[in-house]
Amino acid sequence: MFTGLVETMGRVHTLEPRTAGLRLVIAAPAIVEGIEIGDSIAINGCCLTVVQITETLLGFDAGPETLACTNLGQKKVGDNINLERSVCLGDRLGGHIVTGHVDGLGELVQREDQQDWSTFWIIAPANLSLQMATKGSITVDGISLTLVDVTDEKFSVALIPHTLEVTTLGELQVGDQVNLETDLLAKYVQRQMAAISDAPSN
């Protein structure tokens, strides 16, 4: 479980092919202390398990489906990446409840920079748009954000200078893909509404 509040940006150190998938080795000096093998870390919003620790480096194994369904398969050595350790019982929940299970990929189609603030418009799969609402929550590359406008095809988010500076969102350009996770509550509401709609009438 995560909050969508990125702790630090790591950097892709090496990409090591495996029989099935890839091992991502990420330089993460700011958070490596205290991490143990088996811990869960959100990597651009995708929950992965620590399988290797070497000084300031953390290794994660990503399977073929993870690489195909997230933007982790697009990363190159030297790329920055958002990192968040899983929450502990009693931690403040500053963002919203994030599972680290990426629902799909979005694409940045418009970036409006106004001095040091930005508004992003991101295309989302139609099934995910149904789980979004203005003033609701969305996770973009592991970052908890508030939805501003939502249409059937895309949504917008407003980014403050701090977010642009300390996460990878500041580096995004039109055409880049991002990992999306919709709000957990919205998923359950949609599921219940579908069940009510499908129920036979008396």
How does pLDDT run across 36-78, given as a tens digit for each residue?
A: 999 999 999 999 999 999 999 999 999 999 999 999 999 999 9
Residues in the chain: 202
**DSSP 3-state of 19:** coil
Which tokens sit at 106?
């979005």
Average of pLDDT values for 175-197?
80
DSSP 171: G
Confidence (pTM): 0.90
Is the separation of the CB atoms in 180 and 138 below 8 Å? yes
What residues are paired with 47 via a beta bridge?
A: 42
Q: What is the pLDDT of residue 88?
A: 79
Domains of the chain: 8-85 (2.40.30.20), 104-194 (2.40.30.20)
Is the separation of the CB atoms in 108 and 175 below 8 Å? yes
**Sequence-separated (6 or more) residues with CB below 8 Å from residue 115:** none
